[in-house]
Chain A
Amino acid sequence: MPSMDPISRNLMLDSLREYAKRRIPFDLIRELDAKNEFPTDILKEMYDRDTLGVHLLMIPEEYGGVSGGTFDIYRVCELLARIDLGIATGVFATFLGTDPLNQGGTEEQKEKWLRRIASENLLVAYGATEPDAGSDLVNLRTRAEHVVKNGKIAGYRITGNKQWISNGGVADVHTILAMAPGGPSWFIVEKTMEGFSANKHEDKHGIRLSNTAGLSLDNVFVPAENLIGMEEGKGLLQAQAVFGYTRVMVAAFGLGAGAEAVEHAIRYSQQRIQGGGPLSEKQGYTHKLIVPNYVRLEGARAYIEYTALRLDSGEHGLQTEGAIAKYGASEWGNKAADDAIQALGGYGYTKDFPVEKIKRDIKITCIYEGTSEVLEMTIYRGRWQEHLKSRGRYYLDMADKLDQLHAEEPKVGAHASALGLRALAAVLEECRVHKLTRHQHVTFKLGKLICAAETAAIFSTAAAAQKYSETIRFDREGWQAMARVFAREAALNTAMEGLALVLGAIDSDGGLADAVNIEAIQTEQKGMIADMDLVAVKLKQTFKAK
């Protein structure tokens, strides 16, 4: 679905922001976090069509929703994460649970279930994960057996256990993945069905306002019309088809929660006087704890938006892009939140300030919807194929385009991004020649390098655009400085880490130091501190002390 116009989207975001300000103050969040309590009434109110109806974003207009596109969903997810990642997860679980229906449901199934979810404020859960099947769904143990009546399949008997299900204990409707005789398939299971039960609510490290529970299905009878798509064996395809944008949603969580934490620190740093001046004036503070983190998150934002817009324009899949978006945003968000605690010192370590909770919450974004390590593998696999198919030209072609961009717009770090991509291409080629991808460590690490180098390229490109996205809160001068800082860091890391990786696996470097062009990348670091100074000033102007 294409996204809506920016004015409508921003009106919805304003409504959500104002609702949260009024109904979900930090004191309440803190109390629920301490009690490990899911705020059912708040979620129901957020789903109420006359109050907010936030779940309607995922439901097409013809079934009573508002037909949100990926960009809309990214914006709402970012804001939800800024409010509370637990509540965000509760909403996300409904999005995710509705997905198999959206993707694979028949017209009748959509008419019945999507309309009910829209109008009855139903909470939904997505039941895929099992004790022995996480990202590796092939090990699925839950079974769905035919129930035959009068020679026809009247329904299924489902038996098995699900684990770590968000909304598991509170959802009205579950979409459950089970192994049918024809292969993995999705089923609609209602909580009232006999034999269905939810286990205890998990006592988690973070996102304690979200309900997470295991599910037990003991010979649950599900009528045949609840088989999504009315065809067995389509389950894994239906699940994988949406990874592109479900990962954009979790990416938006990492971005939103991470940025919220750094923004707290930026505001705090202007009031906290140490050694004769505010912390916000001290490079030892800003250039370590604030600037690099915010810059990386803006890079993640550029990549998320790039992926969301491509999905909105009708492209399908984009699994590698979704993985890059999520991996970058969640890892950088997690690091940013960790540094935000440091930036608030003793206050940051107490529960009186939100950063302590954000740090606990945000860790989940590196785990659910594909752990960071699974994503490193996904990214590597996707792009390794491109490297081989293009005979090593994939990143070189991209680098050529960035050098062209640099000639037109020299202020966006496009040259540094190009150097990073060329270094990446050299490292990949060295890995191919020496067959280094037999080491799993090498492949995962390549996934990490690819993420940063590609994000740099996208960030430089976005910073050169005539008109910036509605989400950019900085002027041109500031955002371009951020792109330059990002590109320099990414290029240096790609070259240094890539070189170290190869050297760790073979006896000699085979001239790789020249191939990655370390010298040029080092020269490109010129101006880094001045740019970081500039970014620190822009951040202070934008996130003023309250």
Chain B
Amino acid sequence: MNIVVCVKQVPDSTEVKINPETGHLIRAGVPSIINPYDHFALQTALELKKKHNFRVTVVSMGPPQAKSVVQLGMALGADEGILLSDMAFAGSDTWSTSYALAKAVKKIGKTDLIFCGMQAIDGDTAQTGPGVAQQLGMPQVTFCEHVEVDGRRIIARKLIDGGHEVVEARPPVLLTMIMHKDYTPRYPSFLAVNASLKKPFHVWNAADIGAEEHYLGLKGSPTKVDRIYPPPQREKAAMFTGSGQEGMAKILQIMKAEHFIE
């Protein structure tokens, strides 16, 4: 089987702060990382590759420096890497990004499985993966935490409210991955990074994937962001200590004082 993994380079959100006056992200000095959900999706795909000898291609869309997340994928074991990079892509929303990624998948050729992270930690939309499936007319299983392949059967365990659902599908199918709580992201050895330089890597622009420019970038994006602002800071909580009984009494007293109960 041929697997395509879609990955995104994002700012390390643990280091990002928002300027409270302008609402802009303070990006200075913030390192870029692979979106953690994509990292898990990549690892899931690479485990399947190891088990079944599948072929894995990593795809990302972004500026030239986003090559980093594609090369990480190759260093961890993917066979080939593709970066969609073109000024025409700049400012694309999730619809436009899905369109470009779907075009890239078509150019790659026969694809049985597409893995995506469930969402990126910068935009948090969870739309791009499903969008790619939609553009390709491919079925999708979202929010998966485990995927197995048995012949032509794809068995995915997905998270639903209050539990799990085990879903079976036939390829081609697109899967979006959440993360296990106990999962440890893998990083390549120095030797593997060096070896990844010898694997096939391509940079494709809009013309290479046959994308129509009016569907791309800010102009081609139906979503317009009105403004971004941090939520108002919560007021400080009052802390009380004591036994459960004392705590209950205190809460009741406060609720009465605030007229929540009579």
Contact = CB atoms under 8 A, between A and B. Distances in A.
Interface stretch (A49-57, A437-445, A519-527): A49-57
Given A56-B191, A66-B194, A542-B29, A11 B15 contact: no
Contacts, number: 67
Interface in B46-61: none
A11 B71 contact: yes
Interface in A1-20: 4-5, 7-8, 10-12, 14-15, 18-19
B13 to A, nearest CB: 13
A22 interface: yes
Nearest to B34: A14
Contacts of B17: 544
Q: How large is the interface on A (under 10, 10 to 19, 20 to 34, 35 or more residues)?
A: 20 to 34
A313 interface: no
Contact of B67 (A7, A15, A49, A538): A7
Given A66-B194, A544-B17, A11 B188 contact: yes
Nearest to A543: B29
B68 interface: yes
A474 interface: yes
A69 to B, nearest CB: 13
Contacts of B197: 5, 8
A260 to B, nearest CB: 15
A12 B191 CA distance: 9
B26 interface: yes
Contacts of B190: 12, 15, 52-54, 56-57, 66
Nearest to A68: B190
Contacts of B71: 7-8, 11
A49 B189 contact: yes
Contacts of B68: 7, 10-11
A473 B187 CA distance: 23
Contact of A53 (B26, B72, B187, B191): B191
A56 B195 CA distance: 13
B191 A66 contact: yes
B71 to A, nearest CB: 6
B155 to A, nearest CB: 30
Contacts of B75: 11
B194 to A, nearest CB: 4
Nearest to A473: B29
Given A66-B194, A541-B29, A52 B189 contact: yes
A332 to B, nearest CB: 21
Contact of B28 (A4, A11, A67, A542): A542
A10 B187 CA distance: 12
Interface string B167-191: 0000000000000000011011111
Interface in A35-50: 48-50
B135 interface: no
Contact of B188 (A10, A15, A475, A538): A15
Interface in B23-79: 26, 28-29, 33, 65, 67-68, 71-72, 75
Contacts of A8: 71, 193-194, 196-197
28 contacts: A5-B197, A7-B67, A8-B194, A8-B197, A11-B72, A12-B193, A14-B72, A14-B187, A15-B187, A15-B189, A18-B187, A48-B189, A50-B189, A52-B190, A53-B189, A53-B190, A53-B191, A54-B190, A61-B194, A67-B194, A473-B28, A473-B29, A474-B28, A475-B28, A538-B28, A541-B29, A542-B28, A544-B17
Given A49-B189, A53-B190, A474-B28, 5 more contacts: A11-B188, A15-B193, A57-B190, A66-B190, A542-B28
